[in-house]
Amino acid sequence: MHEIGLMKNALSMVKREALEKGLNKIELVELVIGKMQGITAESLAHALEIARADEPMFADCLVKVKEVEGSMKCLDCDSLFSLQEPAESCPSCRGGNLKLVSGLEFYVDSYTGN
Ligand SMILES: [Zn+2]
């Protein structure tokens, strides 16, 4: 359930910025979430409910998600491959020298409020 912590962090970051800008109410938050986080729409909705339980400024806030495909690069043979979960070895050369390129994102892309 790590998405609850991630969501709380995301909302508190938005809240801090929004208060500095004089916003009282957030209408929309756009999140970028990597597919390798393994977060389903249901668990995300659940995390949102928990994260905003004590935050009236997010009471009517909608959350939109942009998903990022998971991908890793092999540092041995230079192949780039996409995947749903972090891999242990390269599908081309079986090497274990892999670098995560994308898929573990979780950040606020933008938000609107008034
Ligand atoms: Zn390789």
pLDDT in tens, 1-26: 699 999 999 999 999 999 999 999 99
| Residues, beta carbon < 5 Å, ion ligand 1 | 74, 76-77, 90, 92-93, 95
Give the chain's domains with CATH numbers.
2-69+102-113 (3.30.2320.50)
CA-derived radius of gyration, the chain: 17
List residues bridging with 74 in a β-sheet: 98
Q: How far is the CA of 50 from the centre of ligand 1 (A)?
A: 41
* Global pTM value: 0.86
Q: How far is the CA of 95 from the centre of ligand 1 (A)?
A: 5
* pLDDT tens figures, 55-96: 999 999 999 999 999 999 999 999 999 987 778 999 999 999
Other C-beta atoms lying within 10 Å of the C-beta of residue 35: 19
